[in-house]
Structure 1
Amino acid sequence: MDYKADLFKYSGLGWLTWKFRPNGLYGFNYHRIGEPDDTQFDPNLFSCSAEQFETHLAFYKRNFDVISSDELIALMRNDTPIKERLAIITFDDGYQDNYQYAYPLLKAAGLPSTFFIATDFIDKPTVPWWDEIAWLLKNTQVDYELLRKWQLPINWPNSSITEQIRMMLRYMKQNHRVSMPQKLAQLRQACGIAENAITVSESLFMDWDMLREVQANGVSIGSQTCSHQILSHLTEQQQAREIVESKRRLEEQLNTTISTFAYPVGGESTYNETTTNLLRKSGYQLAFTFLHNSCNNILENRFELPRFSVDNQCTVDDLKFNICKNMLNQKLSPYVKDNNLSGLYQDK
């Protein structure tokens, strides 16, 4: 049974939920645009194809007032009540396919967006830790038994490589006792692969000239730290370096004021009070999470603005479903629990 089809086409509940969705800010975040089967790295990062992204933009234009980060900052500063449905379109990490595919479509549609950039990947082109993890799992000859010390799930051997990568990344993100460089070194050893074994013909990420071009044509630039490490796993001094230095580098190269920030990984456990205090002291005005919700008080939530993560070759129906599922889980969770209707909201 396709629960998405049931929710929107048959029960009528989805249609009513969508029709009466509240006013507020709806954030939609992307990572990569393209085909996941074409990459030697993490396929889970591909939000959708270029063709799908074009349909998303038309959907946003029909259903929301799409605003820029500068307009959002103005709403925050004036503490303006939100009496309409607003949307902000963002991209994390700064992959080159954002420039190649997303940027021309955004420009053609006349829609603003914000690209959040991890500056180390621009200054020192390299393969980021999550893509290296994916590459290691795709290329290792080591069997399951030798990898068991990573506390892998029982179903690991029977899972697809895409799912194995997702499981390993979840473990690596949650394990805060060891630094990411140390975890990578341990995984390389476990996989039997040397440190510098990965070769790429060109950088995965945009360069400074690309960022200057998109900035001149409707794309705002924000920071996503220097090295994209999970901030709550770092000391205060390490967090300060990631937050302050990335801002300084972007402002120096792009001749602009950097006022927005996106937390790497973005869940509520990936940042802490130290993080938000550092953002405030450093002059940031807004910070974005991956808390799936809408928001109608920007000032109150300015360092925890929610966004819906656009993933898994997402269609327009998926976008609507994710918004409605979140609303239903929040509004009807006691009823769902009491009446054993939880299956209706599962993303199968």
Structure 2
Amino acid sequence: MMSYYQRILQLSVVEKLCWHFKPHGLYVFNYHRIGDENDTAFDPHLFSCTQEHFKEQLEFYKNNFEVINIETLNSLIHSNKKINKRLALITFDDGYLDNYLHAYPLLKAANLPACFFIATDFIDQQKVPWWDEIAWLLKNNELHQEFIKKWQLPNGFQTLDSREQIYLLLKKVKSDTKTTMEEKLIQIRMDLNIDERQVMPKEQLFMDWDMVREVSANGITIGSHTCSHRILSHLEEQEQTFEILQSKQKLETQLNGQPVRSFAYPVGGETSYNKSSTKCLEEFEYQMAFTFLPGINTRLNKNRFTLKRFAISDNCNVETLKSSLCLHFIKETLSASTE
């Protein structure tokens, strides 16, 4: 069933007017992977769109925004001036290999800057991250009723397609603050009765350091996404310090001293970071940090450690992206008018 806002947008004239009067500010568009989600043995939700749709979206950004880089954003933050135009920033999280193979050539051809946020533990390693391991385990094992009950998954979980199953279990794992990610992975393996001989296929999922250096030299700013991609708010302050500082130092060493000023919170929801996180970022001279919450950034200096981003997902095309932005404008306008 369509929402109230979607019914409004069925009127094409409304969408045209909405888009014409789109607010000034910084629009940050965030991606994870580029390619076909049906071709992966791991988490399909990480695929933002295909190469074809990404190419179209880059043209869309060029035609509707002034696309800026992190250095320009840093200057805007410290100038503390009101934004009187529509700016766009393109970002990628994690550091997957397809960022180099598919996204980078298209960005370069379009002559557009971007920022790649790198989880350093995975670079140059044949290492499967925790979310992809969970996806692989669900895809390759029988899900019995005891497992579903223990993880408090909904009735009918077994009848859902693997994409929905992965989404629901990952949501449960991300919300659990009582145990570490390593402990949760061990528990999932035990609860699925995994044979110790059953191993995931070895595959280079992430870029190597030569690739990171190459993109850095050609219009891509490198930012930190921690070392291990653990959720910061689940960690003690000392562990947060390690993740935030060590990832920065590793990146700056590999980039021959080039300063790393930007950061993206793993998972990025409202509860994925806390005051200890932002305090640590400021202490180690990061200039900005990005969430995974949707919105247009207008007060850059005040909110520099909680910058919002629009997630690109489900292989959306330009028209779908445009409509989703218009929906956001309408919701924000109506919300503000009722306050």
Q: Same fold (TM over 0.5)?
A: yes
AA partner of residue 77 (structure 2): M
User: What is the aligned partner in structure 2 of residue 246 from structure 1?
Assistant: 247
- Correspondence 1:191-340 to 2 at 5 A: 191-194=192-195, 197-255=198-256, 256-333=258-335
Query: 1:197, CA displacement in angstroms?
Result: 3.4
* Separation in 1, partners of 2:172, 2:137: 15
Give the secondary structure class of the aligned counterpart of 1:12. Answer: helix
* Separation in 1, partners of 2:6, 2:274: 39
Q: Percent identity?
A: 51
User: What is the aligned partner in structure 2 of residue 121 from structure 1?
Assistant: 122
Give the secondary structure class of the aligned counterpart of 1:62. Answer: helix
Greater Cα offset, 230-239 or 17-26:
17-26
Query: 1:120, CA displacement in angstroms?
Result: 0.3
AA partner of residue 204 (structure 1): L
AA partner of residue 211 (structure 2): M
AA partner of residue 296 (structure 2): S
User: What is the aligned partner in structure 1 of residue 61 from structure 2?
Assistant: 60
Please tell me whether the aligned partners of residues 224 and 264 of structure 1 are also in contact (alpha carbons under 8 angstroms): yes
Greater Cα offset, 288-297 or 87-96:
288-297
Query: 1:190, CA displacement in angstroms?
Result: 1.1
Please tell me whether the aligned partners of residues 76 and 302 of structure 1 are also in contact (alpha carbons under 8 angstroms): yes
Give the secondary structure class of the aligned counterpart of 1:270. Answer: coil
Give the secondary structure class of the aligned counterpart of 2:123. Answer: helix
Please tell me whether the aligned partners of residues 148 and 157 of structure 2 are also in contact (alpha carbons under 8 angstroms): no
* Separation in 2, partners of 1:334, 1:206: 43
Please tell me whether the aligned partners of residues 188 and 195 of structure 1 are also in contact (alpha carbons under 8 angstroms): no
1:74-123, Cα deviation, whole Å (9 max, x unpaired): 11111122110000000000000000000000000000000000000015
Judged with a 3 Å threshold, the aligned counterparts in structure 2 of structure 1 residues 174 and 206 are, in CA distance, closer, same or farther, namely same
Q: Which runs of 5+ in 1 are unaligned?
A: 337-348
Judged with a 3 Å threshold, the aligned counterparts in structure 2 of structure 1 residues 283 and 333 are, in CA distance, closer, same or farther, namely closer
* Separation in 1, partners of 2:155, 2:83: 47
AA partner of residue 162 (structure 1): R
User: What is the aligned partner in structure 2 of residue 87 from structure 1?
Assistant: 88
Query: 1:125, CA displacement in angstroms?
Result: 3.2
Judged with a 3 Å threshold, the aligned counterparts in structure 2 of structure 1 residues 316 and 5 are, in CA distance, closer, same or farther, namely farther
1:142-196, Cα deviation, whole Å (9 max, x unpaired): 3234331101012412321100100001000001111111011000111122467
User: What is the aligned partner in structure 2 of residue 340 from structure 1?
Assistant: none
* Separation in 1, partners of 2:78, 2:179: 40
* Separation in 2, partners of 1:134, 1:53: 24
Judged with a 3 Å threshold, the aligned counterparts in structure 2 of structure 1 residues 157 and 334 are, in CA distance, closer, same or farther, namely farther
- Correspondence 1:18-37 to 2 at 5 A: 18-37=19-38
Please tell me whether the aligned partners of residues 90 and 114 of structure 2 are also in contact (alpha carbons under 8 angstroms): yes
Q: Which runs of 5+ in 2 are unaligned?
A: none
TM normalised by structure 1 equals 0.92
Greater Cα offset, 102-111 or 152-161:
152-161
- Correspondence 1:101-112 to 2 at 5 A: 101-112=102-113
Please tell me whether the aligned partners of residues 232 and 273 of structure 2 are also in contact (alpha carbons under 8 angstroms): yes
Give the secondary structure class of the aligned counterpart of 1:225. Answer: coil
Query: 1:293, CA displacement in angstroms?
Result: 0.4
Q: CA RMSD in A?
A: 1.8
- Correspondence 1:172-183 to 2 at 5 A: 172-183=173-184
Please tell me whether the aligned partners of residues 293 and 323 of structure 1 are also in contact (alpha carbons under 8 angstroms): no
Please tell me whether the aligned partners of residues 126 and 204 of structure 2 are also in contact (alpha carbons under 8 angstroms): yes
AA partner of residue 206 (structure 1): M
* Separation in 1, partners of 2:86, 2:190: 50
Judged with a 3 Å threshold, the aligned counterparts in structure 2 of structure 1 residues 196 and 207 are, in CA distance, closer, same or farther, namely farther
* Separation in 1, partners of 2:229, 2:316: 24
Query: 1:327, CA displacement in angstroms?
Result: 1.9
Judged with a 3 Å threshold, the aligned counterparts in structure 2 of structure 1 residues 331 and 196 are, in CA distance, closer, same or farther, namely farther
* Separation in 2, partners of 1:195, 1:118: 28
AA partner of residue 23 (structure 1): H
Please tell me whether the aligned partners of residues 185 and 195 of structure 1 are also in contact (alpha carbons under 8 angstroms): no
* Separation in 2, partners of 1:47, 1:195: 33
1:244-294, Cα deviation, whole Å (9 max, x unpaired): 000000000012100000000001110000000000001100100011000
TM normalised by structure 2 equals 0.94
1:213-238, Cα deviation, whole Å (9 max, x unpaired): 10111000000000001000000000
Please tell me whether the aligned partners of residues 28 and 308 of structure 1 are also in contact (alpha carbons under 8 angstroms): yes
Please tell me whether the aligned partners of residues 47 and 311 of structure 1 are also in contact (alpha carbons under 8 angstroms): yes
